[in-house]
Amino acid sequence: MNTEHRNTRALADQLDVILRSMDVDYTKNDAGLLFTVSIPGERRKTIDVTLVVEDHALKVLSFVARCPEERHQQVWEELLRRNFELFSVAFTIDDRDHDIYLVGRVSHSSVNEHDIDRLLGVVHQATDGVFNRILELGFESSIRQEWRWRLDRGESTVNLQAFEQFKPRD
């Protein structure tokens, strides 16, 4: 076993201990180098954050939202403006579907309880802080359609209350 692999394994073990001590809901893959932390959100029900222990960094990846159906330019501008305020992560889109993610890398020295807590907090705040705005800009037509469908059938609209402005007025 080379030194780099031993250091990566030791760091993964350290991250496991940190996450356990933080009492967060998480899983790790069989190789023990990939951790998925589930954080309860307010606007988005659950925010999953994947932490991958790499040879020279800890990679952070979190799915935020599907590719907008409309007003792509406005959504991308909103995310780019928010990138300016973020620590250790940034909004991006994937190459295939243009889904929205938060991604980043931090040094191995940042794998301590304080910095991991801060990192998870940044992902939580960034995702929860923009989630409804992404839906308002990028999915307005679908939200309006959903309002109509639920009202016509007498279905619950509880989870649409954040989008009251799109409720049909007739």
Provide DSSP, 31-43.
TSSEEEEEEE-SS
For the whole model, what pTM was predicted? 0.90
For residues 67 and 100, is the Cβ–Cβ distance under 8 A? Answer: yes
* Residue-level pLDDT at 6: 60
Query: For the chain, which domains are there?
Result: 3-138 (3.30.1460.10), 141-170 (no CATH)
* Residue-level pLDDT at 5: 57
Residue 64: closest CA among 42, 37, 92: 92
* Residue-level pLDDT at 7: 85
Segments of the chain with pLDDT less than 50: 1
Report the alpha-carbon distance of residue 156 to residue 164 in Å, rounded: 13
* Residue-level pLDDT at 1: 47
**Helix spans in 2-156 (H):** 3-22, 72-83, 113-138, 140-153
